[in-house]
Amino acid sequence: MQTNPTYSSLVAVGDSFTEGMSDLLPDGSYRGWADLLAGRMAARTPGFRYANLAVRGKLIGQIVEEQVDVAAAMNADVITLVGGLNDTLRPKCDMGRVRGLLEEAVEKLAPACRQLVLMRSPGRQGPVLERFRPRMEELFVCVEELAERHGAVVVDLYGAASLSDPRMWDVDRLHLTAEGHRRVAEAVWQRLGYDPEDTEWRTPMAATVPPGWITRRVTDARFARQHLLPWIGRRLTGRSSGDGLPAKRPELLPYEGPAA
């Protein structure tokens, strides 16, 4: 990997993780790791361009159908692809199909950029995701194999203890906090060959006194009512939180905003 490379453009492809949920800004929009990464890269390269095609809730088939060809046509220096995790969280999931679609995406994107970036997504500690963990890990094996075959790099977030800490996750238990997204941006930044700005991003947060039993039960009940039950309802009815939403940043345009 080249040290401190010069990249002039970035296109991000994926779902809510790449859209930036739940790194909420005062205006109600989401920032997230991809925006933070683009800000850093833009600070080093005048005229840097950035597009973010991600939309929350998208399955890998939708990512391939709606985003991959668009991203490939942009001929960006760097393309990031994170997808398939939403599929693994569905009650019924054809992992063979997921692997095939991910392979199709990589085969189209890898030749269309200087550097394709794939990820082993972070995994939160807790009982809700445990039943889906074998599928997630099967997906990550596929990611590693595709990266080796097509010259992509893999950012290993799943293996980072700091990102499994429940305190790095929003109240919906599915999306990272602002601090979580900051650490992901740092991880990708370093994997692209830039000098570290935070050498301790993998270091877990300092231990704190855990909340009491009553507080945990109240929190669990609120989570179930506000997030888990609606999420299950969408899964059972085939709906998505991203239905009808446009891409976050659909055109490859000069980045404007404060550097991260």
| Peptide bond before residue 22 is cis, with ω within 30 degrees of 0 | yes
Identify the pLDDT of residue 254.
96
pLDDT band at 243 (very low <50, low <70, confident <90, very high): low
Alpha carbon distances (Å) from 167 to 130, 163, 184: 18, 9, 15
Identify the pLDDT of residue 212.
60
Beta carbons of 67 and 4 less than 8 angstroms apart: no
Say which residue, 237 or 121, is predicted with more confidence. Answer: 121
Say which residue, 234 or 185, is predicted with more confidence. Answer: 185
Identify the pLDDT of residue 169.
87
Say which residue, 164 or 237, is predicted with more confidence. Answer: 164
Identify the pLDDT of residue 232.
56
**Residue listed under structure tokens 């683009």:** 38
Identify which of 62-66, 121-125, 230-234, 254-258 has the greatest average pLDDT.
62-66
Question: What would the mean pLDDT of 31-56 be, rounded to a whole number?
Answer: 96
pTM of the model: 0.86
The CA distance from 245 to 104, in Å, is 24
Provide the mean pLDDT of the chain.
87
